[in-house]
Structure 1
């Protein structure tokens, strides 16, 4: 059995015991020796904190306070805006389609060409439609020629009726005086009935002639409309989004001749959440940044939907933007900012935001006595310089560093940072 390792272990244990459990006594003895040495050297006994190294009570209280960095923020008027993402859309888009079946006889116009309202896009073959129109016009003329004959028959039948009525009247008076027989009276009455029947027949013939005119006139109008359908024109000034139908191709009823779009003015279409839609008004100025090239454009709100999208609960808005040079295309992505009423807001660094025990978003502030408080805030806008918030007093001392180490009601030692907003 080796004795030296055992003795070494005992010595180490004693030293560790003295260093841990008897440390205060060792330090006290060392301090006493230092004080005695100082007394013997100077000849003066001084028990002041400066000589013993013990801080004053006020210094101890100051050292125990948590140090924080505070920003003295003053609210500023911020032009609030509703931010939505959307896209550009043509003001009008029309598919010009054929209303009849015929062969194209005009050379095609190529996509991208500018067209004006009324310009011919597709001309179709006339075929037999011209002959059909001539036939309808001939029938109309014939129907019109029958009207005078029918009118003369009516006039003749009316004259006969008047004559028979006079004879009937005379027969009735003669019969009352005993100068006419019953047979003559009956004959006069029969003649009146026959004349009335003839008049009815003549009037029916006149009505038939007039109906023939209307039918023939409708046939002529139908033939003219069919001929007019052979020329397909641009409904408005715009651009061709597709080639027009090729020369010699057969267009059926409903076949596409060309697609025309109008890009001036162009629309910005976005969808606003139901929590923000009340802040948008008709005619409000709006600014948008296109994804392509970061180009900024300006327009005005022209439409706000009264019905929300059933799946997203958002409301469609449209903004008219001038586009005289047609440089803005249909379907470009845009970030839209719609102006609304201004608000008083503070610009704070994002790091100043924190949560209280209830999970409410806010910031910690201090009052004139350097006591910490918590104020809930509402986010307005996020910018590279910081975040704009509402809910704070006009002038607020906001803790921007160290807010996570203090709670409401605690007194802190603040260091104020220069306001950079």
Structure 2
């Protein structure tokens, strides 16, 4: 008589689970052999989105500013060319003079007598030479004697010129139109040759000198308009008349001169002033300083979007900066400037523009 074998429910559950797993595995394996796996869907790359603003360049008047020294157009120290005593002052400090006006008179010291003697000696030498030439024609005078007389005549002429100059120098004259700015002598003073007598200046036209740094000299050219601002607020206009061709070896700056009219005869010669040179206007954009950034080479610039919707970085030069923003040059005349998102894109990236504003 056969005995019944009791099977545990746990064992039955394990056997069924193993059969189920075997069936599932064999089914997947068969499906993989019969069908190729479906291609994995790769999501399309998302373009970066930026916000932009259109900007139109406008002409901007550049100004080069330097500190200058105002000088008289001409200034000369009148010095004595003869020794003597001051007999008369013909012009006083502050007097206006014209070219050739006598400024003072020195004592004669026998100069007029020497002039008269030189005149008489010259007349004698001329008479002797005329007589000798008449004798020479008659062959009564040698050529050597005639040459000696001609030499003596030339010496007499030179002595006369020297005597006349000495007399003329006892009354020094103004070399140009101007004003007697200083007088250094008084009547009765005994002066020697070379003594300073008066200072003569011309201030109806002024000369302003300044030094311009080498990095700014390229924007200057002769003939440019210049505004001269004095410390008290007054202004004069002039013209850039000279630019040195070589920089100062110590400061690396260039010397310039400005010609300024001074019809009011303002007393400003010798003072300092601010020189503003009007440079050639350039096209400039007004941008927020927050839009300026540095590229990998350390160049300051602005990122814009071109016609191909690509990011372009343009190096710029800051012309001025104030509360309204920074005026920069170096961008195209019409530029689509990135206002938001420039920090998340690189030059050459293609971007989506979200509503460009004017």
TM-score range, shorter chain: 0.7 to 0.9
The partner residue of 1:238 within 166, 175, 178 is: 178
Instruction: Name the stretch that deviates more: 275-284 or 119-128.
Output: 275-284
Distance 1:353 1:291, change over 3 A: farther
1:281-314 CA deviation, whole Å, 9 max, x = no partner?
Answer: 3322x13241412333222222222233232333
2-side partners of 1:91 and 1:319: how far apart?
A: 10
User: Does residue 136 in structure 1 map to residue 118 in structure 2?
Assistant: yes
Match of 1:217 among 157, 160, 169: 157
The CA deviation string for residues 333-358 of structure 1, in whole angstroms up to 9 with x for no partner, is: 33333334332111234444333343
CA RMSD of aligned residues (A): 3.4
Give the unaligned 5+ runs of structure 1.
Answer: 1-60, 159-198
Distance in structure 2 (CA, Å) of the matches to 1:378 and 1:337? 20
1:290 and 2:272 aligned: no
1:343-389 residue CA offsets vs partner (Å, 9 max, x unmatched): 21112344443333432212345679999764321122345643321
Name the one with the larger helix percent.
1
The aligned runs of 1:370-381 (5 Å cut-off) are: 374-381=313-320
Deviations 1:155-190 (A, max 9, x none): 44x2xxxxxxxxxxxxxxxxxxxxxxxxxxxxxxxx
Number of the residue aligned with 2:286: 347
Report the alpha carbon displacement of residue 80 of structure 1 after superposing the two structures with TM: 3.4
Q: What are the Cα deviations for residues 225-263 of structure 1, in whole angstroms up to 9, with x where unaligned?
A: 001111111111112221252111122111111111111
What is the Cα deviation at residue 271 of structure 1? 2.8
Residue-pair matches, total: 310
Structure (1 or 2) with the greater strand fraction: 2
> Equivalent residues in 2 for 1:22-421 (5 A)?
72-107=54-89, 109-156=91-138, 158=139, 202-284=142-224, 286-327=225-266, 329-365=268-304, 374-383=313-322, 385-398=324-337, 408=346
Question: d(CA) in 2 for partners of 1:401 and 1:110?
Answer: 74
Q: Which has the larger radius of gyration?
A: 1
TM score, norm. by length of structure 2: 0.73
The one-character-per-residue Cα deviations of 1:65-94 (angstroms, maximum 9, x if unpaired) are 9998x6543211223344433232221111
1:72-131 per-residue CA deviation (whole Å, 9 max, x = no partner) reads 432112233444332322211111111111111123744333222222222111111111
1:272 offset after TM fit, Å? Answer: 3.2
Aligned pair in 2 of structure 1 residues 271, 400: CA closer, same or farther (>3 Å)? Answer: farther
- Structure 2 gap segments, 5+ residues each: 1-45
With over 3 angstroms needed to count, the CA separation of the structure-2 counterparts of 1:111 and 1:400, relative to structure 1, is farther
